[in-house]
Amino acid sequence: MSLTSVAVLVILILLAAYAVSLYNGLVRLKHGVSKAWANIDVLLKQRHEELPKLVETCKQYMQHERTTLERVIAARQAVSSAREKGDIGALGQAESGLRAGLSQLFALAENYPELKANDSFQHLQQRISGLEHGIADRRELYNEAVNLNNVRIEQFPDVLIARAFGFQAAELLEFSEAEKADVDLNALFS
């Protein structure tokens, strides 16, 4: 074997190793997105299970607020449906509706002293608020994983491997502009 043949063989081996390294990095990022989504999904399921308990507790005290309670239940179903379908865009919109409904529900609860004093309501309110914070934190981690994945599959030379093996961009989990706007407390209490 000539020196040129050995040099070409070494270069080919190094290129193959580099391509494998790029591929493995893309696979890690893809699974990082899946893992981050699974972490959000766990909290969404937990909140999904807690909401009917909250609504039932509130029904006992808030007979005149049926519209708000129905809005929370409808939003819960929309979140559940989008989550089951894996539709990130629809989930973001449904989450915005659910968060608005919960904010209104908790604001209206201020008008019902017996409800506010109810241990079950207080526990559920704290539990759901804690889950909301957890979802927000994990959404941030999910969006970071998506961003890393999407940048890598568009960068050269990663884009060559990504296209060859069908790596796809992931969708960010974004909430509506209304969700990000400041809350109008006067409107909640009128």
Lowest mean pLDDT among 6-20, 47-61, 102-116, 169-183: 169-183
Q: Give the chain's mean pLDDT.
A: 88
Which phi and psi (to 5°) does residue 31 adopt?
A: -75, -25
Tell me: the pLDDT tens digits for 34-74? 999 999 999 999 999 999 999 888 888 887 788 888 889 99
CA dist 99 and 102 (Å) reads 5
Contact 135, 43 (CB under 8 A): yes
Confidence at residue 116, expressed as pLDDT on a 0 to 100 scale: 82
What are the pLDDT digits (tens) for 5-38?
999 999 999 999 999 999 999 999 999 999 999 9
- Tokens coding 113: 């002293």
Question: Which pLDDT score, from 0 to 100, does residue 177 have?
Answer: 57
Of the candidates 97, 95, 105, the one whose C-alpha atom is nearest the C-alpha of residue 125 is 105
Residue bearing tokens 């270069």: 11
Distance (Å, whole) CA 34 – CA 39:
9
Architecture of domain 3-188: Up-down Bundle (1.20)
pTM, full prediction:
0.77
8 Å CB contact between 140 and 173? no
pLDDT band at 81 (very low <50, low <70, confident <90, very high): very high
